[in-house]
Amino acid sequence: MINHIVFIFIFLLGFYAILVKKSLIKMVIGLNIMEGAIFYWFIAITDRGGIIPIVQSTQVAFNLNDPIPQALILTGIVIGASTSAFLLTLIIELNKFTDSTNPDQLGGIIED
Amino acid sequence: MELLLLLLIIIPLLTAFLIPLIDIINKKARRILVLAASLAEFFTFLFLVINNWDNIADGTIFIIYKMGGWLPPLGIVLSLDMLSFYFSLLITISVMFLILYSIGYIGHHEGKYYVLIFLMWTAMQGVVLTGDIFNFYVFVELLLITSAALIGFRRNKKGTIASIKYMFYGVIGGLFIFIGIILLYSNLGTLNYAEISANFTTLPFNTQGIISILFLIGLFIKLGIFPFHFWVARAQSTAPSPISALLSGVVEKVYIYAFLRLFWVVFDFNYIQTTGLDKIIIFTAITSSIIGHILALQESDLKRMLAYSTIGHLGIIIAVLTVNTKLAIIAGLLHVLSHLLMKISLFTTAGYLLQFVPSHQIKDSRGVAQQNMFVFAGFIIAAAGMMGLPPMLGFFSKLYIVKSFLDNSYYLSALLTIAGSITALIYYARYIIYGFRKIKLNSPQEFRLILSVLYRERLVTNIALVFAVAVLITGLIYKNFFGPLESVANILYNPSIYIDFILGG
């Protein structure tokens, strides 16, 4: 239960940063916090307290932790890193046209 | 034979990585490579169709490719049934024509453009063909990043802002899908569509609800349905025209495929119906539709107007699919085809016509009809389909949509669909009337290209006309689509066929 509460708290913290902060860089950090919360939660809820794979053939293979969440989170981290790298590139690109990184001065994130 | 499924994904992926290498050797060879690769993809698909023609005709086609030889519940599978066949067909043909259009349209930074568009093609084919839910997420994120890069392709202030905005919405939508996948995995211990589908009803009632709602929110953000529609207009109006056509016509259809595949085959649609969630989806989607049409009505910029009209039509498609009778599903799938053809046709013709006017504003479009009568006629045909005038496919798909709303006593939805068409009549007619208004030319040279990016005018006009003619012809033969679309609907109604084919084969 504590895992779910901590997850929701950190996730909403990141969401708060995206909604409230007046800097695009801080909003990207908010996205990363949300992703981090998900990765933490996934590891926490699939943990059975066993041996961590990869297991060598000589060891007794019982009470293993599921290796698939690790693989999925690794992919998730790669995707998260590439999206934030791409967003930061766009923010650098934006710096050529304007000095501001305030989303409200750039037409807002809610209005179209 | 099974290898063809892998080829459909591998060919664009390989081309994307070959283009920079070809650039180093010879820049002229790049266009030949692009042309060859898109034709190769098309002929791969054609080969698949010819080899399985009997199965496609009676709707029993089912091909499965096991990655690395691992058997389905453990390994990743690519699978093609009638549902993925229909969407893969639309993607292959329309992206091939849009790449041909781009060869004439994009005159600068071509190398980067083609790398991104081929990666986008990979991602779309991947989403449609995959049989693994995490693979689906990876392809969706690939689609997000490449399309965001293409939205900001012009590298101006507006494009960059639109791209940042699209990224924020898309990533958050993706995170909701990711949480849903985690819940599925931690409860069921599998990522395979078929195995999830077989065991989904054994989950606790609340877990089913949370998973359905998380996927629904994620897909609605990515589709741009009403509470999350804020990114659509900017993204689709600042992108280059072929990319606007691709985003509005094809990428949105890929998410509609995901909606169908996940909620009918993988998850249990009965759950949504028993909890009354379908009423909420229909309400949201129809609200989205009417808001899209109203926003389009007050818009003075042509491409933004077309983008808002996309919101309007997607709302109708989602609503009619959620009605969930056989006729409603067929009507929704028919509207997927007609909206794809009409929107690509509108954006490609508009992309050509906008080269001759000083700005995208509708009031600046005076006299574009004088410049090129044929392309303007193409625009009128596609717009007539959007308004729902009789000989076009848009009329018949809307007719069946309204009929299926009325049959299931969603009277307000039917009324709002018709109201949306009438609104569309007003805003397209406004542009067409401006286009026909004569302006006095001081010299014959005056009406030359204002933005000189277009350098293969004939190729661009011909491709734009191909789509306009397709809108007309598909309208004349619309009855022939009912048989195949019915077998698509059968796949949706019998998830057990899908499960048996993947886990049993």
Q: Distance (Å, rounded) from C-alpha A52 to C-alpha A69? A: 12
Do the chains contact at B157 and A98, CB–CB below 8 Å? yes
Of the given ranges (A55-64, B26-35, B490-499), which has the lowest mean pLDDT? A55-64
B465-474 per-position pLDDT tens digit? 999 999 889 8
Residue B5 has pLDDT above 80, yes or no: yes
Q: What is the pLDDT of residue B445?
A: 47
A111 — pLDDT class (breaks 50, 70, 90): low
Do the chains contact at A112 and B233, CB–CB below 8 Å? yes
Q: Distance (Å, rounded) from C-alpha A28 to C-alpha A25? A: 5
Residue B79: in which H helix or E strand, if any?
strand B77-80
> Residues of A at the B interface (Cβ-Cβ below 8 Å)?
18, 24, 27, 31, 34-35, 38, 41-42, 45-46, 66, 68-69, 72, 75-76, 79, 82-83, 86-87, 90-91, 93-94, 97-98, 106-107, 109-112
Please give the average per-residue pLDDT across B458-481, as a whole number.
88
Q: Distance (Å, rounded) from C-alpha B214 to C-alpha B218? A: 6
Domain assignment present for residue A22? The answer is yes
The DSSP-derived string for B189-251 is: S--BHHHHHHHGGGS-HHHHHHHHHHHHHHHHHHHT-GGGGGGHHHHHHHS-HHHHHIIIIII
Nearest to B453 by CA among B347, B302, B349, B352: B352
Q: Are A69 and A43 in contact (CB under 8 A)?
A: yes
- The residue with greater pLDDT, B455 or B281, is B281
Return the percentage of chain B with pLDDT > 90, whole number: 46
Q: What is the pLDDT of residue B86?
A: 93
Domain assignment present for residue A107? The answer is no
A101 — pLDDT class (breaks 50, 70, 90): confident
Q: For B160, which of A83, A94, A110 is closest by C-beta distance? A: A94
Q: What is the pLDDT of residue B455?
A: 60
Place of tokens 């001081």: B442
Number of domains in chain A: 1
Domain assignment present for residue A32? The answer is yes
Q: What is the pLDDT of residue A61?
A: 60
Domain assignment present for residue A49? The answer is yes
Entry field: residues in chain A: 112
Q: Distance (Å, rounded) from C-alpha B282 to C-alpha B502? A: 32
Q: Distance (Å, rounded) from C-alpha B414 to C-alpha B412? A: 5
Instruction: Kindly state whether B160 is in contact with chain A, defined as any CB-CB distance less than 8 angstroms.
Output: yes
Q: What is the pLDDT of residue B170?
A: 93
Assess: ipTM above 0.95.
no
Q: Distance (Å, rounded) from C-alpha B299 to C-alpha B363? A: 11
Cβ contacts of B232 on chain A, cutoff 8 Å: 112
Q: What is the pLDDT of residue B127?
A: 94
B329-370 per-position pLDDT tens digit? 999 999 999 999 999 999 999 888 888 777 788 887 777 777
Say which amino acid occupies A34. Answer: M
B238-254 per-position pLDDT tens digit? 888 899 999 998 999 99
Token code pair at residue B210: 């949370």
Cβ contacts of A90 on chain B, cutoff 8 Å: 148, 152, 160, 163-164, 167
For A97, phi and psi rounded to 5 degrees?
A: -100, -30
Residue B301: in which H helix or E strand, if any?
none
Q: Distance (Å, rounded) from C-alpha A67 to C-alpha A54? A: 8
Residue B439 has pLDDT above 80, yes or no: no
Residue A60 has pLDDT above 80, yes or no: no
Residue B442 has pLDDT above 60, yes or no: no
Give how far A60 is from chain B: nearest CA, Å: 22
Q: Whole-number mean pLDDT of chain B?
A: 88
Rounded CA Rg of chain A: 19
Percent of chain B as helix, strand, coil, to the nearest 5: 80, 5, 15
Domain boundaries, chain B: 3-504
Residue B423 has pLDDT above 70, yes or no: yes
Nearest to B286 by CA among B193, B424, B420, B88: B420
Alpha carbon B85 to its chain's center: 15
Residue B309 has pLDDT above 80, yes or no: yes
Q: What is the pLDDT of residue A109?
A: 56
Give how far A66 is from chain B: nearest CA, Å: 9
B183-225 per-position pLDDT tens digit? 999 998 889 999 999 988 888 989 999 999 999 999 999 998 8
Q: Distance (Å, rounded) from C-alpha B192 to C-alpha A35? A: 23
Find the domain containing A66 and state its range: 2-94
Domain assignment present for residue A109? The answer is no
**Pick among B112, B154, B175 to test the A interface (most A CBs inside 10 A):** B175
Please give the average per-residue pLDDT across B154-177, as a whole number.
90
Domain assignment present for residue A62? The answer is yes
The enclosing domain of A8 has a CATH number of: 1.10.287
Domain assignment present for residue A37? The answer is yes
- CB–CB contacts below 8 A, A to B: 81
Cβ contacts of A106 on chain B, cutoff 8 Å: 161
Q: Are B161 and B239 in contact (CB under 8 A)?
A: no
Do the chains contact at A79 and B179, CB–CB below 8 Å? no
Q: Are B228 and B172 in contact (CB under 8 A)?
A: no
B118-151 per-position pLDDT tens digit? 999 999 999 999 989 999 999 999 999 999 999 9
Residue B66: in which H helix or E strand, if any?
strand B63-66
B93-114 per-position pLDDT tens digit? 999 999 999 888 887 777 889 9
Residue B480 has pLDDT above 60, yes or no: yes
Do the chains contact at A38 and B148, CB–CB below 8 Å? no
Compare all CA atoms of chain A with the CA of B292 and give the residue at the minimum distance.
A112
Compare all CA atoms of chain A with the CA of B179 and give the residue at the minimum distance.
A38
Say which amino acid occupies B468. Answer: A
Do the chains contact at A111 and B230, CB–CB below 8 Å? yes
Give how far A52 is from chain B: nearest CA, Å: 17
Q: Name B63's bridge partners.
A: B80
Q: What is the pLDDT of residue A106?
A: 72
Residue B446 has pLDDT above 60, yes or no: no
Q: What is the pLDDT of residue B452?
A: 47
